[in-house]
Amino acid sequence: MLKHDCGSCHGLPPKGGLGPSLMPDALAGKSDQLLLDAIQKGRAGTAMPPWRTFLNEDESRWLIARLRQGW
């Protein structure tokens, strides 16, 4: 999912494309809560869609942990 769904906008590896970089250095200053909100609810007015129908909170936290570890 990270590769196909997220990668289509964030890049592969996710160094940024239509969406911003999701590489560890880019996420370093951002809290899990901020990233979780973006994934669950999307960002209104941008291309970032809400994923809560596909990913519950635990799954989203798991993805964030993977992103923080690097590609």
Tell which one of 43, 57, 62, 65 touches ligand HEC (CB under 6 A).
Answer: 43
Q: What does the alpha-carbon distance between residue 71 and residue 49 come to, in Å, rounded to a whole number?
A: 22
Please say whether the beta carbons of 24 and 68 come within 8 A: yes
Tell which one of 3, 12, 18, 62 touches ligand HEC (CB under 6 A).
Answer: 18
Give the tokens for residue 2: 């990270």
Q: What does the alpha-carbon distance between residue 28 and residue 56 come to, in Å, rounded to a whole number?
A: 23
Q: Work out whether 46 is an interface residue with ligand HEC (CB under 6 A).
A: yes
Q: Work out whether 13 is an interface residue with ligand HEC (CB under 6 A).
A: no
Residues in touch with ligand HEC (CB under 6 A) = 1, 5-6, 8-10, 18-20, 22, 30, 35, 38-39, 43, 46-49, 51, 63
